Amino acid sequence: MQTLWNKGVEAAQAVEDFTVGDDRRLDMRLAKYDVQGSKAHIAMLAEVGLLPKDEEQLLQKELDKILGQIEQGEFVLEDIAEDIHSQVEICLTRSLGDLGKKIHSGRSRNDQVLVDLKLYMRAELETIRDMVLQLFGILQALSEKHKDVILPGYTHGQIAMPSSFGLWFGAYAEALCDDMYMLGAAYKIVNQNPLGSAAGYGSSFPLDREKTTRLLGFEDLNYNSVAAQMSRGKSERAVAAALGALAATLNKFASDCCMYMGSNFKFISFPDSLTTGSSIMPHKKNPDVWEVMRAKTNRIMGTEAVISQMTANLPHGYHRDFQLLKDTLFPAIDSVRECIAMCLYMLENISVNKDILAGSKLYDDMFTVEEVNRMVVQGVPFRDAYRQIGIAVKEGRFAYTGAKSVEGLHHTHAGSIGNLCTEQIKDKMSRAARW
C-alpha cells in the first residue's frame, strides 16, 4: 500500500489494517473536496513562485479529469492507496510522472484532511439547511391549514388546556428556527480555512493562505497554525451538537406522532401503506416509521458525546485518534438527512381528526381555565374562581357551556391558538438561515 509517510520501511500488515480501519471507504465521500483543495493549493504555489505556471496548468488539467471521474462515479480507491490523498497523488504521478508529487509541497496530510473535512461538512450543512427549510415550510402550511381544529393540550401526560393543530404544527416549525441557529453556528466554525497550517506549525515556504481562502470560498482563516490543527475534533463536535439539536426536535415530534396515532387518542392517521400491522392482532396500525425515527434521533443525539469522549484529554497537535471521528460523524449526517426526508414524506400524507371533541365529555376538563377566566372577567378574584371550579370538578359538577372552537375561545395574544404568528416565525427562520 502506498502511504504518503513511507520512508522505505513497510508497516506490519496487522498494524496497517488496525490503523487504517474503515477509513478508505469513508474517504470516498471526501474525494471531490480533496481535489478542490489540491487545485486551490497549486494555484497558490504557482502564484508565489513555488511551481512553474506551465506545470500548474498540467496539474490543473489532470485534477479536472479526476474531478470528472469522481462526479461520474468512475473514480476508485485502489488497494495500493492508503487514503484519498495518496490515491489522487497516484493518479497524477501515473499521468505526469514526478510532477504529480509536487502537489504536496507546503502542506501536510494534516491540513489536507482538515480542508477536505471542512469542505465536506460545509456542503452537508448547506444540504441539511435546505432540507430543514422544506420541513419548516410543510409544517407552517399544515399549521395554517388546520389552525381552526381544536386539539387537546397535555401537561404531565394529562389533559390540560385547549390547543389546536395549528399551534402544534406551528410549534415544531418555530422549534426548527432554534435548530437552524445551531446549524448556522456550526457552519461558522467549519467555514474557516486551515490550509497552510501544514502539520500544525506552518511552513518556511512563502504561502499565500489568503488566496486559498478566497479560492475555496471560506469565510475566514484559521490564522494560528496550531489553532487550525486544534479545530480537528472541535469542528466535528460543533456539527454533532447542531445535528443533535435538530434530532431532538424530530425525536419529540416522532414521540407525539406515536402517541397521537394510538387508539386511545386517534388525533392523527396515515394511509395503511405507511403503517405496519401485527402478526396476531388484525386491528393494529403501528407507527413503526415514527418509532424507528425516535430511535435513530436518539442515536444522533449521542454523537456529540462520543466525539467529546474521543477528543478529551488530548494535548494540542494531531493524534491518530481523530481518524475515528469520521466513522462517528458521517453516519450521523446520513441519518439526519434520512430522518428529515422520511418526516417530509409522512407529513405529506398526514390526516388530522377534525372531530376530536364531537359527542365526548372526555375533554371537558381542559376548559376549566376558560371558565375560571370568564369568572375573573366578571369580577370574581382569581383564587376564589379557581377554588370554585376545582370543587366542581372534584364533585363531578363541572360542565363547560362555552364555545369549543378556536374562534369562540378568544385567545388573541401573540403565539396563542387564535394568533399563531405564522409570518413572524417565517421571518425568524429567514434570518436564522441567512449564514
DSSP string, 185-253: HHHHHHSEE-TT-TTTT--SS---HHHHHHHTT-SEE--SHHHHHHHHHHHHHHHHHHHHHHHHHHHHH
Percentage of the chain lying above the pLDDT 70 cut? 93
Q: Examine the residue annotation and report whether 278 is marked as an active-site residue of this protein.
A: yes
Q: Is the pLDDT of residue 166 over 90?
A: yes
Q: Given this model, what pLDDT does residue 273 score?
A: 87
Distance of CA 34 to the CA centre of its chain: 23
Residues 6 or more apart whose Cβ sits within 8 Å of residue 309: none
Q: Are residues 282 and 157 in the same domain?
A: yes
CA distances from 341 to 262, 275, 336, 425 (A): 23, 17, 9, 22
Label residue 352 by pLDDT band (50, 70, 90): very high
Q: How far is the C-alpha of 264 from the C-alpha of 353, rounded, in Å?
A: 13
Q: Given this model, what pLDDT does residue 141 score?
A: 98
**For residue 25, is it within any domain?**
yes
pLDDT in tens, 304-346: 999 999 999 999 988 888 888 999 999 999 999 999 999 999 9
Q: Is the pLDDT of residue 15 over 80?
A: no
- Size of the chain in residues: 435
**For residue 8, is it within any domain?**
no
- Which of 146, 255, 273, 278 is catalytic? The answer is 278
- Which of 41, 108, 156, 273 is catalytic? The answer is 156
* Domain that includes residue 69, residue range: 13-104
**For residue 408, is it within any domain?**
no
Contact by Cβ (8 Å): 288, 254:
no
User: CB 143: neighbour CB atoms within 10 A?
Assistant: 23
CA distances from 37 to 58, 67, 196, 241 (A): 16, 11, 11, 26
Q: Are residues 154 and 17 in the same domain?
A: no
Q: Examine the residue annotation and report whether 410 is marked as an active-site residue of this protein.
A: no
**For residue 193, is it within any domain?**
yes
Q: Are residues 79 and 215 in the same domain?
A: no
Q: Given this model, what pLDDT does residue 171 score?
A: 98
Label residue 282 by pLDDT band (50, 70, 90): low
Q: What is the mean pLDDT of residues 80-98?
A: 91
> Amino acid identity of 276?
T
Q: Are residues 160 and 139 in the same domain?
A: yes
How many domains does the chain fold into?
2
- CATH number of the CATH domain containing 144: 1.20.200.10
Q: Is the pLDDT of residue 17 over 70?
A: no
**Lowest-pLDDT range, 128-132, 278-282, 318-322, 334-338?**
278-282
Q: How far is the C-alpha of 381 from the C-alpha of 372, rounded, in Å?
A: 10
Q: Are residues 221 and 348 in the same domain?
A: yes
User: CB 282: neighbour CB atoms within 10 A?
Assistant: 7
Q: Are residues 88 and 133 in the same domain?
A: no
Q: Are residues 198 and 312 in the same domain?
A: yes
Which spans in 75-224 are helix H? 84-96, 109-145, 165-190, 209-215
Task: Provide the Cα torsion 243, 249, 252, 258; round to 10°.
Answer: -90
Label residue 425 by pLDDT band (50, 70, 90): very high
Q: Are residues 270 and 178 in the same domain?
A: yes
Q: Which of 22, 35, 125 is nearest to 75 (CA)?
A: 35
Q: Is the pLDDT of residue 46 over 60?
A: yes
Label residue 3 by pLDDT band (50, 70, 90): low
Q: How far is the C-alpha of 356 from the C-alpha of 338, rounded, in Å?
A: 32
Query: N- to C-terminal Cα distance for the chain?
Result: 42
**For residue 74, is it within any domain?**
yes
Q: What is the mean pLDDT of the chain?
A: 92
Q: What is the mean pLDDT of residues 122-143?
A: 98
Domain closes at, from 57, 73, 104: 104
Q: Are residues 289 and 348 in the same domain?
A: yes
Q: Given this model, what pLDDT does residue 1 score?
A: 56
Q: What is the mean pLDDT of residues 353-365?
A: 89
CA distances from 304 to 1, 119, 188, 321, 329 (A): 33, 20, 18, 15, 9
Q: Is the pLDDT of residue 6 over 80?
A: no
Backbone angles phi, psi at 71, to 5 degrees: -65, -25
- CATH number of the CATH domain containing 45: 1.10.275.10
Q: Which of 133, 127, 132 is nearest to 29 (CA)?
A: 127
**For residue 128, is it within any domain?**
yes
Label residue 119 by pLDDT band (50, 70, 90): very high
Q: Given this model, what pLDDT does residue 234 score?
A: 95
Q: Are residues 246 and 166 in the same domain?
A: yes
Q: Are residues 113 and 221 in the same domain?
A: yes
pLDDT in tens, 222-266: 999 999 999 999 999 999 999 999 999 999 999 999 999 998 899
Label residue 191 by pLDDT band (50, 70, 90): very high
Q: Is the pLDDT of residue 280 over 80?
A: no
**For residue 416, is it within any domain?**
no
Q: Is the pLDDT of residue 103 over 90?
A: yes
Domain closes at, from 335, 352, 369: 352
Q: How far is the C-alpha of 236 from the C-alpha of 121, rounded, in Å?
A: 8
Overall pTM > 0.85? yes
Q: Given this model, what pLDDT does residue 27 score?
A: 87
**For residue 257, is it within any domain?**
yes
Q: Are residues 309 and 334 in the same domain?
A: yes
**Lowest-pLDDT range, 57-61, 94-98, 312-316, 357-361?**
357-361
Three-state SS at 312: coil
Domain closes at, from 104, 129, 164: 104
User: CB 78: neighbour CB atoms within 10 A?
Assistant: 12
Helix, strand, coil shares of the chain as percentages rounded to 5? Answer: 65, 5, 30
Label residue 411 by pLDDT band (50, 70, 90): very high
pLDDT in tens, 173-185: 999 999 999 999 9
Label residue 276 by pLDDT band (50, 70, 90): confident
Q: Is the pLDDT of residue 5 over 80?
A: no
